[in-house]
Amino acid sequence: MSASLRLFAPADYAALCDIQNAVYSEASVTVEEVRLADDLRDPMCKHRRWMVEMEERPVAWGEYTQRIHKYHPHKFFLNLFVLPTYQNQGIGSKLYTHMLEALQPFEPVQIRTQTQEDQSQSVRFLQQRGFREEQRKWESRLDLTTFDLGPYLEVEQRLSEQGIVLKTLEELAGDPERDRKLYALDWQIRQDVPATEPRSPISFELFCARFLYHPEIVPEAFIVAVHNGEYVGLSFMGAQPSSKLISTGLTGTLRSYRRMGIATALKLRGIRYAQQHGYTVLRTVNDALNAPMLSINMRMGFVKHEQLAILYFVKDC
């Protein structure tokens, strides 16, 4: 049997999710998530996606794309997924070669991709093709059914005594500059998050669509630290409908407000919300080099899942 490649079509979203979820069952995606991500892709980013079929059955998919938050006209990101039962049959190699050939008119200088620690075949596949690991992120999880907020009750009170209060996204709705302030704060915080490439700011409109009004963002768990009207820290959470797992996104503060317990207080407020609303597991992902945030998580009782470490690879063209 030979594998045939064709361009992705809108009718393929369900098959795409089935393939990806078979590879990464711990990080499942939905049709709605992928479709929305496609809709929110900045038009400046080059993108093309293919499906691979055997006997008219979708068994793999791949794409090249660009990331607007780390944009470079000649740098690309590849995604490639093959159903486990069809791996080691040359399908991934065929798709990878096809994507590289499709990129040549754009004169790529670097290609990046990612996989997980437990995907040993994928790691070997990349290493054999000249990719090298350049970044590692740890996934950590907190059991919300056993976490005790009791020892932390005074954390937020100490901040309040210094004039720092925590507000939800909804509680800040009366501030006409709220969204612009959050856009500026988010950008300042991200400057200090470990990264392998220079960051580029996204547009205000895209920020709002991705982080303030995205359907998976939980407004009541989007917490902002405010001091004398200035937004000085934030933490937000996202969850899929009907899921008992909730994820923490970016958590951070302005440089001048660090080592005051603000990040801890932000996380605790989010944890309280999650417990009160029936979530059982809190998931977060941190760069392996982000020692301050990893330390906060470990003190709270997060358990690092090393087998779920996300590995980022790069290859110079």
Place of tokens 């998580």: 297
pLDDT (tens digit per residue) in 169-195: 999 999 999 999 999 999 999 998 888
pLDDT (tens digit per residue) in 126-161: 999 999 999 999 889 999 999 999 999 899 999 999
Specify the CATH number for 4-108; select among 3.40.630.30, 3.10.180.10, 3.10.580.10, 3.20.20.140: 3.40.630.30
* Amino acid identity for residue 193 in this structure: V
pLDDT (tens digit per residue) in 282-307: 999 988 888 888 888 888 899 988 66
Bridge partners of residue 311, in order along the sequence: 115, 136
Q: Which part of the chain is CATH 3.40.630.30?
A: 4-108, 140-309
Report helix, strand or coil for 290.
Answer: coil
Q: Does 210 have pLDDT greater than 70?
A: yes
Cβ 280 vs Cβ 145: under 8 Å: yes
pLDDT (tens digit per residue) in 76-133: 999 999 999 999 999 999 999 999 999 999 999 999 999 998 899 999 999 999 999 9
Tokens linked to 312: 């980022």
What is the DSSP code (8-state) at residue 29? -
pLDDT (tens digit per residue) in 253-285: 999 999 999 999 999 999 999 999 999 999 999
- Give burial (CB, 10 Å; 0-12/13-18/19+) of 291: exposed
**pLDDT value of position 196:** 86
Q: How far, in Å, CA of 131 to CA of 253, rounded?
A: 34
The CA dihedral of 20, 22, 27, 33, to the nearest 10 degrees, is 40
Cβ 48 vs Cβ 102: under 8 Å: yes
SS (H, E, C) 88-156: CCCHHHHHHHHHHHHHHHHCCCEEEEEEECCCHHHHHHHHHCCCEEEEEEEEEEEECCCCCCHHHHHHH
Sheet of 230-238, strands arranged across: 4-7, 48-54, 57-65, 75-82, 110-116, 303-316, 132-143, 281-287, 245-253, 230-238, 223-227, 164-168
Cβ 64 vs Cβ 76: under 8 Å: yes
- CATH class for the region spanning 140-309: alpha beta
Q: How far, in Å, CA of 314 to CA of 18, rounded?
A: 27
Q: For residue 241, name the pLDDT band (cuts at 50, 70, 90).
A: confident
Q: How far, in Å, CA of 236 to CA of 34, rounded?
A: 20
Rounded to an integer, the average pLDDT of 1-9 is 91
**pLDDT value of position 1:** 66
Q: Which strand (E) or helix (H) includes residue 198? A: none
Whole-angstrom CA distances from 247 to 24, 185, 238, 310, 312 are 17, 20, 5, 16, 20
